[in-house]
Amino acid sequence: MVQNPIIAIDGLACSGKSTVARALSQHFRLPFIDSGAFYRGITLFAIENGFVKNNKVDQGGLEHKLTELDFKYDSSSSHLYLNGQDISEKIRQPEIAQHVSSISSIDFVRDFVLKELRALGTDGLVMDGRDIGTVVFPHADYKFFFIAKPEVRAQRRYQELKVKGVVTSYQEVLNNLIHRDKTDSGREVAPLVKAEDAIEIDTSELNAQEVLSSAVQIIESK
C-alpha cells in the first residue's frame, strides 16, 4: 500500500461515495474531504443572494460576488463554513439538490472549487465527488467509481431526508436524481465520467460495510 495516499472516489449521486469515503478516512486515518459540499455551498450562496430565479442562474452576478466567499472545511467533522457560518445542514436541503447541478456546471464555479480543493492538500487524503480522479487529482494513488440503480439511490436519499424531517416524496427524489445524472454526465466542463484507471463498484446490492471491505482489500493489496 502507498504511504499517505490520495484516494479518489467518484460516482453517481447517492451511490454511497461519502459514506464509504468517510469510513476509509477513519480506517486509514486520513483527512476526508467532501468536494460536493463546496458546490452546494456556492449554490446556497447563489439562492440566498437572488442569483437563482425561475430555475435560471444569473451567472454574471454570481461571478462578480464569488470573491466574497471564504470557505473553511473541517475534515474531522466534515463541516463546511462559509464566511464564518456553519452551513453543513443548510446545504443538504432539497432546494439545494435541485439547483446544484446547474451551478456546478458553470466553468468559473468549477475553477473556483478546484482551487479550493487543491489548497486543502496534495497527499494523504480521501476525497469524493464527480471529477476527483479525472480533474482534481488525476494522479491519485487509488481511484474508485461508484454506481447504483436509480431506484436504489432514490430510496436511500429519501430515507435520509425523512430521518432529518425534510418533507418530500420518493418520486420527487427519484426525478431529481435522474435529472442530476443527466446534467452531471452531459456538462461541457469536467463531466461525470469514469477515469480509465478507476475501479468500478456497483453498490446496488451491497451495504456500506461490504463496499468498505471491498475497497480496503483493493487498497491494501496494491
- Quick check: 5 and 141 in contact, CB under 8 A? yes
Task: Please give the pLDDT value at position 198.
Answer: 98
Task: Please give the pLDDT value at position 187.
Answer: 86
Cα(49)–Cα(64) distance, rounded to whole angstroms? 12
Task: Please give the pLDDT value at position 67.
Answer: 92
Task: Please give the pLDDT value at position 56.
Answer: 94
Residues of the chain with pLDDT under 70: none
Task: Please give the pLDDT value at position 131.
Answer: 94
Q: What is the pLDDT of residues 13-28, one digit of tens each?
A: 999 999 999 999 999 9
In the chain, domain spans: 6-217
The residues near 54 (Cβ < 8 Å, ≥ 6 apart) are none
The residues near 66 (Cβ < 8 Å, ≥ 6 apart) are 42, 108, 109, 112
Task: Please give the pLDDT value at position 178.
Answer: 93
CATH superfamily, with its number, for domain 6-217:
P-loop containing nucleotide triphosphate hydrolases (3.40.50.300)
pTM above 0.85, yes or no: yes
Cα(91)–Cα(115) distance, rounded to whole angstroms? 20
Beta bridge partner(s), residue 86: 81
